[in-house]
Chain A
Amino acid sequence: MRQFFHFLLAGMAFTAIAPPVPAADLKLEARLIWGANDEKETVKHKPADPELSDKLHRMFKWKNYYEITNKTAGIAVSQNCDLKLSDACAIRVKNLGGSRVEVNCTDHGRQIYKGAYALAPSQWLVVGGNDTADTAWFVGLRPLDDKPSDPKKAISKN
């Protein structure tokens, strides 16, 4: 019994002393979305991903959502990543570790928003606001899975 206790404690000590496994980079995608009532035929940009636009449709009044920018990034723990989404709109994302991020949103270099959130897999964090001419802008952030999507599955679904 005493030996077992010693082995147990030794195991615990090893676990405690062993160097921690470095956390994997956080991979995420950032999208700049424009919400408008303009018809698709009149707009140069492609419609936003149906999954995201469906979610936006549930909350917002705009008829159509267009994808302006779509960027992906891999961010190491405690590192920042600047993503320029348009001439004026940029975001700085800091990986706080444990799928937590700090998001800075700037307009022409002026910080308009800063927040810290835990990004859940396949869940969107959207920062948005009104734009001119009864339109709106949205910046969507979502963590990406490491596993590549299976194209066969995608085909079979469709």
Chain B
Amino acid sequence: MNDDLEVNLELKLQAWLDGELSAPYSRCINPEIVGGEEASRLIDELQAIKAALAGNETARPVPETREFYWSKIERQIQSQAPGPRPAQAPRQAVWGRWLASLPGFAALACLLLLAVNPFASPVFDEISSAGEGMEAVTFHDQSAGMTVVWLTDTTPARPAESPDAKAPAPGKSEVEVE
């Protein structure tokens, strides 16, 4: 708590010494009244430092003129600062841009729909089902370029149920054997 008060007092004394306090407040801060011996010593120190700095500060000569030097700094600050926002485009132009790209998006959507093609009948590579009492075996001969479905009648009671066994018999009814 005491430390805080001391720091506060020091800051006020520095401000008083630099002439930064208002006149009524400055009159209240008279170090001899407020701080006593401690304050007087601090004032002396600060005044000595101020005098030393004022007399012995190293001069840093700049090759350019003062105006040019500061204008360089200004330009650098401006280049690093974010540029001014471009003037907001009129609302019509924004909508126009969106509408212009609308056909494109529609086309893309159409293409996607066509690619998915939900209306197309399902594609099945190979579906095979034998009739009642028949058994089908499918095999491929890649070298011959032929797919064969071989049907077998599995009904023992009706051995003559093959497609041609009855009347049509592609071989039987039309073939004349001598």
16 interchain pairs, CB-CB under 8 A: A9-B104, A9-B108, A34-B171, A45-B175, A59-B141, A59-B148, A66-B171, A88-B166, A105-B151, A106-B163, A112-B134, A112-B151, A128-B149, A129-B151, A130-B153, A137-B171
Give which listed residue, A5, A110, A135, contacts B172 with CB less than 8 A. Answer: A135
Q: Size band of the A side of the interface?
A: 35 or more
Give which listed residue, B103, B128, B138, B153, contacts A10 with CB less than 8 A. Answer: B103
Inter-subunit contact A115/B149 (CB<8 Å): yes
Stretch binding the partner chain, chosen from A21-29, A118-126, A150-158: A118-126
Name the residue of chain A whose CB is nearest to the CB of B149: A127
Bound complex: CA A110 to CA B138 (Å): 20
Is there a chain A Cβ closer than 8 Å to B54's Cβ? no
Residues of B at the A interface (CB closer than 8 Å) are 100-101, 103-108, 110-111, 113-114, 121, 123-131, 134, 136, 138, 141, 144-153, 160-178
Give which listed residue, B129, B145, B166, contacts A122 with CB less than 8 A. Answer: B145
Bound complex: CA A122 to CA B162 (Å): 28
Number of A-B contacts (CB under 8 A): 192
Bound complex: CA A113 to CA B138 (Å): 12
Residues of A at the B interface (CB closer than 8 Å) are 5-6, 9-10, 12-17, 32-36, 38, 41-45, 55, 58-59, 66, 68-69, 85-89, 96, 100, 105-108, 110-118, 120, 122-133, 135-137
